[in-house]
Structure 1
Amino acid sequence: MTRGHRWLVFGAVLLLALGVGAGLLIGRDDRTADAAAGPVDVGFSQDMSVHHAQAVDMAITEITGGADPAVRNLAFDILTSQQNQIGRMQGWLTAWGEPLLPTGGYMGWMSHDGHEGMAGMGAATTMPGMADGADLAALRQATGAARDVLFLQLMLRHHEGGTDMLVAGAEHAETGYVRDLARQMLATQKSEGELMTRMLRERNASPLPLR
């Protein structure tokens, strides 16, 4: 590992720690203890923390090894925004006295909100759009332009896979600050998705099918 690469890794890890810490402070300052969090608030915050954590991991991989400054800049934006949002959600969960991570599977909370296609369903073992171990290994092993393209493909699919959860949180969370954050995430990820689609087209690459 070169000195420059080591500094990139160090900087990305430092930004991660600072962003999560700042988010925790903001989350604990949302007067969460005064609000009655329902199953959607709790489930959304737990599951989206996990979903975001993988996006942050992929963004760090791109920042520390991608070739295209434009793609690395996008990865930096995703890293800084989503790590802060993780901190906020973890701060809420702490204030509510709830586990920081989901237990017993994912997305079971969506059956509580009457969300179309989810009512009556139990918890899932994975969430839509998530990269698997082989995907993450391929991203780490790719170099140069190949890493840029794979990052865009994986992150676009990741964003698309989280849309239903964001919609459910935005429409059915009982606390206003959870609804507001979900709406902010929806707007940001829609804009980023359009940008990634355009970037892939410019690189003669296609989006991955959602799974």
Structure 2
Amino acid sequence: MSAPEIFFVGDDALAVKLAERAARHALAAALRASGQWVDVVPGKGEVTVQFDPLVVPPRQAEALLRQQAVDIPETEDVSVQTITLHMQADDTAGPDLARIAAENGLTAEAFLARISASPLIVDMMGFTAGFAYVSGLDPALIAPRLDTPRQRVPAGSVGMISGQLGLYALAGPAGWPIIGRIAEPLFDARREAPFTLEAGVSIQLVIER
């Protein structure tokens, strides 16, 4: 591939701009596998890496990243972890479900079927600890942000705005309409990696009514 744009985002971090989601996650997987970076974080439109400037001088890190970005593996050769999650979708778990489905001209069942059939993937983590931005949602499904954000939604809540889902690993405020709740815990402090989701993970969503 042609050389992508690379720029510094601090004294110990660099970012690579990549428009294609699959390419970002393929590069992130390759960078993690190289073991040459302190941290690798894919985001929306770029992949950011952290390095130790006391071990690797910044310009050397830039040159290394530039070479690795050019040698990005073909996306079809990159294995993607798939996690199956069960989403409860009753009136309690999804207080906005019926309204959002109706605004899309669908029954709740048809609306949920479109969501579960979408090729969902965690695009990035952010906003709050463990919050997963999930892309791949059927683009025909639309939902605006809430006029008045909720002060608190339960852990596992599934929010939606046009084009993406948002999975709340922890209880907290939410500005997205809530259409369901994940049955499995998305956070467990006893685990070595306490959060279930990370960028690049594919989600198979099973709807429970």
Larger strand proportion of the pair: 2
Report the TM-score, using the length of structure 1 for normalisation. Answer: 0.22
Report the TM-score, using the length of structure 2 for normalisation. Answer: 0.22
Instruction: With a CA cutoff of 8 Å and minimum separation of 6, indicate the structure with the bigger relative contact order.
Output: 1
Larger Rg, first or second structure (1 or 2): 2
